Amino acid sequence: MDQFLQQLVNGLSIGSIYALMAVGYSLVYSIMNFSNFAHGSVIMLGAYFGFFALTRLGVPFSVAFFIAALGTAAIAVILERLAYKPLRDRRAPFLYFIITAMGASIFIDNSVIATIGPTPKTFPPDLLPAWLQGDPLEWGMLTVGRIDIAIFLTAAICLFLLMIFIDFTKLGKAIQATAYNMKASALMGINPNFVIILVFAIGGGLAGAAGVLYGMKYQVFPQMSAITLKSFIAAVFGGLGSLPGALLGSVLLALIETFVSGYLSTQYRDLFAFIILIGMLVVRPSGIMGKDAEDKA
Amino acid sequence: MRKTVCSILVAAMALSVSAQTAGTVKIGWFGPETGDSALWGQAELATVKMMAEDYNAKGGISVGGKNYKMEIVAYDDKGDSVEAVNVVKRLIHQDKVIAIVGAQGSGEAIPVAPLCDEAKIPLVASTATNPKVTVGDNGKVNQFMFRACFTDPYQGKVAAHFAAKKLGKKRAAIFMTIDDPYSTGLSEFFKAAFEQAGGKVVAEVSYTSGEKDFRAPLTKIKAANPDVIFIPAYYNDVALAAKQARDLGIKQLLLGGDGWPSENLISLAGNSLEGSLFVNHLDFDGVAAKPMRDEYKKKYGKNAELNSYMVHDALVMVVDAMQRAKSVDPVAIQKALTTTDLQAITGHIKIGPNHDPVGKEAWLIKIVGPNMKFQEKFATTN
């Protein structure tokens, strides 16, 4: 029982990071109908922004966190302008977008390897806020790291605010309308270009937050972007294009992974994760909470 | 593929007017200059370059009355076995080296063994500790493969016997990289020796390389309640595992092998490795290591890595073999290498019938604050 609770906590802690990352994939997909594989590289840049803001600029942690989020929001928008807008203007097929995204990802990853280097870095514990330092919290046999709690809370707050924004503000409604039908909403006076920039900025900002949290929990390294692929799977699992779906998919995937590696073996973890993904795609191609594929076509 | 050639020093030539220079010998080096273990590969390359400059500054290596300059031909294998095969082919057939040093990872050293045997070019591995580097699957010795380090069976036994006999540990857990032969091999040898010494292995859990979250398998270890945890992995994973283990409230002693020592280990792990012990090839602060430690620090401005000392000894073995063979012919060097018996930085190297150093002592190192402190010399027999 103790072990079960501990594994549950382990799973939730990974799940909340997956969720922050998955939302970025989902948002862009809901508007533009393609999987932005460069998102992982933006997350990686976020971790580096946070790391260097903290260690080089010497700003407090909360400021470093916002610098990272703003920095990646800007990067995501620039990426959209430079890489995807020319394709949109030419009405290129979606395949071109995906290939461009992969190219952008490889470009960003290798730029970091070439300039900063491949060696992993750790957030220096003494530069983190005092409440993040020190021993993990213990309740009986259950132990929870302070960073894990911070990650869970940050992810919950960010995602809660995002949902409020999408559901209760005019801009959020504009995003929803564009996701539903870009042409019709444009005719109603919603500027699709503006919505696309907005979506990339939000996804990018969350990517920065996710990057910093991931870097704090593990390490900061250029190959991080490959690992974020798991969050893409979570987004597909939950239903690409749906925010609650991305959340649910992330938590479920993380729990499955944790319990499989905790009770069976780590070798079976990815096996199970992918079997479930394939099973889901066969039975319900749009994911747990996704809209029907026909609707989106 | 990056090619780095240390050309002969003009200054050295000017100094050695009196010595009769018979030519240049090419020694090959390969290892990871990029990738996860780049830190160690770069340290090795820096060391062999430094040594070649030193030999050449003294007028070269005297072999049978003639002086030879040393030229290092170096390639990056990116820590990848396929790349390793490619660069070794290139070293042998294109650059025509007379001997090769480096091959720090067993994963890269094992696949190149048939190439060296076929082309009759001796290779002295620096830190490839897997038994299969020198003895093939068929049980036959790879004639042209040698190494400067002790092997994993020995290392595993040292760690196990130290834990069981010296520290009185009874219940061990093993946390290994399932897809890395170094890690699985060392785990196997540790387990056998620990059980032979009367202990019990209560948990054997693993992860796949490249993973960053170890909480699920570590929770399994915690539930098994061991009194020592053996982690045969490389420093980066060790740092991650140690941090996450402490986060899960695992307070037991962590024990490791020669994948641990690195300048980056402690900065990555913070204080989570405090008090942990690992088996090493030498004492970094010892007298034997001092001259090289100082020279390296002066030249490169940073501390020499474990691999610097190991590749140093590998190259010393090659030079010693050349001098005893009085020849720069690869086959003659191979013959002389089989009778190697010399005192090097990392200990006494006497090559045995399996082309491994026999009876080389291991050093137990303890992590104290930001330092790696020599704890004790520990040799074990059966």
Which chain A residues contact residue B38 at CB under 8 A?
118-119
Cα distance from N-terminal residue to C-terminal residue, chain A: 47
Tell me whether residues A258 and B207 touch, CB distance under 8 A: no
A239-293 confidence digits (pLDDT tens): 888 888 999 999 999 999 999 988 888 888 888 888 888 888 898 888 888 765 4
Phi and psi angles of residue B166, each rounded to the nearest 5 degrees, phi first: -85, -45
Phi (first) and psi of residue B203, to 5 degrees: -150, 135
CB B47 within 8 A of CB B6: no
Contact yes or no for B268 and A120 at CB 8 A: yes
Between the alpha carbon of residue A288 and those of residues A199, A234, A239, A279, B151, the distances in Å are: 22, 10, 5, 12, 52
For residue B267, give the nearest of A122, A261, A262 by CB distance: A122
Pick from B208, B222, B267: which is nearest to A266 by CB? B208
CA distance B377 to B360: 11
* Beta-carbon separation of A262 and B38 below 8 A: no
Inter-chain CB proximity A219 and B236 less than 8 Å: yes
pTM of the shown model: 0.82
Shortest CA distance from B267: residue in chain A: A122
Cβ contacts from A onto B, under 8 A? 82
CB contacts, 8 Å: A258 with chain B: 215-216
Instruction: Answer whether B209 touches A (CB < 8 Å).
Output: no
Closest residue in A to B205 (Cα) is A265
Contact indicator for A242, A28 with CB cutoff of 8 Å: no
Q: How far apart are CA B164 and CA B143, in angstroms?
A: 36
* Across A104-108, A213-217, A224-228, B77-81, least confident range: A224-228
Tokens, residue B160: 């196990």
CA distances from A28 to A52, A178, A253, A265, B241 (A): 28, 11, 21, 35, 35
pLDDT at B262: 86
Gyration radius of chain B over CA positions: 21
- A129: which strand partners? none
Query: Dmax of chain A from CA atoms?
Result: 61
Here the tokens at position A112 are 């970091």
Q: Closest to B219 (Cβ–Cβ): which among A3, A125, A218?
A: A3
Structural tokens at position B238: 């060790």
Q: How many CA atoms lie within 13 A of B124 on its CB side?
A: 30
Predicted confidence at residue B35, as pLDDT, reads 76
Which residue in chain A has the smallest CA separation from B223?
A: A3
- Chain A residues contacting B via beta carbons under 8 Å: 2-3, 6-7, 10-11, 13-14, 113, 118-120, 122, 125, 136, 138, 143, 145, 147-148, 218-219, 223, 227, 257-259, 261-262, 265-267, 269-270
* Interchain CB contact of B225 with A (< 8 Å): no
Q: How many degrees, rounded to 5, is the angle at CA B316 between CA B310 and CA B318?
A: 110
Which of chain A's residues have a Cβ under 8 Å away from the Cβ of B274? Answer: none
Distance (Å, rounded) from C-alpha A272 to C-alpha B146?
43
Res B21: pLDDT: 65
Tell me how far apart the alpha carbons of residues B89 and B112 are, in angstroms, rounded to a whole number: 9
Asked if B204 is an interface residue toward chain A (Cβ–Cβ < 8 A), one would say no
pLDDT of B20: 56
**CA geometry: angle B288, B290, B296, nearest 5 deg:** 125
Decide if B224 touches A, using CB distance below 8 A: no
Pick from B279, B212, B219: nearest CA to B249: B219
pLDDT at B381: 65
- Residues present in chain B in total: 382
Helix axes B235-247, B215-224, angle to 10 degrees: 60
Residue range A156-183: mean pLDDT, rounded: 92
Pairing relationship of beta strands B21-31 and B99-102 according to DSSP bridges: parallel
Banded pLDDT at A51 (limits 50, 70, 90): very high
DSSP A106-157: HHHHHHHHHHT-S--B---GGGS-GGGSSPPEEETTEEE-HHHHHHHHHHHH
pLDDT-flagged residues of chain B (< 70): 1-21, 381-382
- Using CB atoms and an 8 Å cut-off, which of residues 320-359 of chain B contact chain A? none
Mean pLDDT, range A19-38, rounded to an integer: 90
Closest CA to B239 of B261, B217, B220: B261
Q: What are the chain A neighbours of B36 within 8 Å (beta carbons)?
A: 118
What mean pLDDT is reported for chain A?
Answer: 89
Question: What is the structure's pLDDT at A284?
Answer: 87
Contact at CB, B223 and A265, closer than 8 angstroms = no
Instruction: Give the 3-state secondary structure of residue B229.
Output: strand
Please give the Cα distance from A147 to A136 (Å, whole number): 9
DSSP one-letter string for B96-162: --SEEEE--SHHHHHHHHHHHHHHT--EEESS---GGGTB-TTS-B-TTEEESSPPHHHHHHHHHHI
Alpha carbon of A76 to those of A104, A200, A216, B103, B283: distances in Å? 11, 6, 22, 42, 49
Instruction: Check A6 against B219: CB less than 8 A apart.
Output: yes
Q: Judge whether B295 and B251 are in contact, CB under 8 Å.
A: no
Give the bridge partners for B364, in sequence order.
B279, B376
Does residue A237 contact residue A287 with C-beta atoms inside 8 Å? yes
Residues A211, A85: Cα–Cα separation, whole Å: 25
Exposed e or buried b per residue across B100-133, where buried means at least 16 C-beta atoms within 10 angstroms of its C-beta: bbbbbbbbbbbebbebbbeeebbbbbbbbbbbbb
* CA dihedral sign of residues B97, B112, B336, B296: positive
How far does the CA of residue B338 sit from the closest CA of chain A (Å)? 38
Share of chain A above pLDDT 90, in %: 58
Chain A: residue whose CA lies nearest to B272: A135
| H-type alpha helices, chain A | 2-32, 39-55, 61-79, 85-89, 94-115, 146-168, 170-180, 182-187, 192-217, 224-227, 229-238, 243-259, 266-283, 293-296
Test A143 with B212 for CB contact under 8 angstroms. Answer: no
CA distance A23 to A202: 9
A104 has pLDDT over 80: yes
Polymer length of chain A: 297
d(CA B133, CA B147) in angstroms, rounded, equals 8
Considering only CB atoms, which chain A residues are within 8 Å of B209? none
Q: What is the pLDDT of residue A291?
A: 67
Please give the domain boundaries of chain B with CATH numbers for all domains: 3-150+286-350 (3.40.50.2300), 152-280+362-378 (3.40.50.2300)
B78 CA: distance to closest CA in chain A (Å): 12
**Closest CA–CA distance from residue A136 to any residue of chain B (Å):** 6
Q: Is residue B280 exposed (0-12), middle (13-18) or buried (19+ Cβ within 10 Å)?
A: buried
Q: What angle do CA A66, A70, A71 make, to 5 degrees?
A: 110
Report the distance separating Cα A180 and Cα A186, nearest Å: 11
Q: Quick check: A218 and B213 CB within 8 A?
A: yes
Q: By CA distance, what is A119's nearest residue in B?
A: B36
Distance (Å) from the C-alpha of residue A253 to the closest C-alpha of chain B?
Answer: 14
Q: What is the largest CA-CA distance in chain B?
A: 71
The SS3 of residue A188 is coil
Distances (CA, A) of B40 to B234, B311, B368: 11, 10, 22
Say if residues B56 and B6 touch (Cβ distance below 8 Å): no
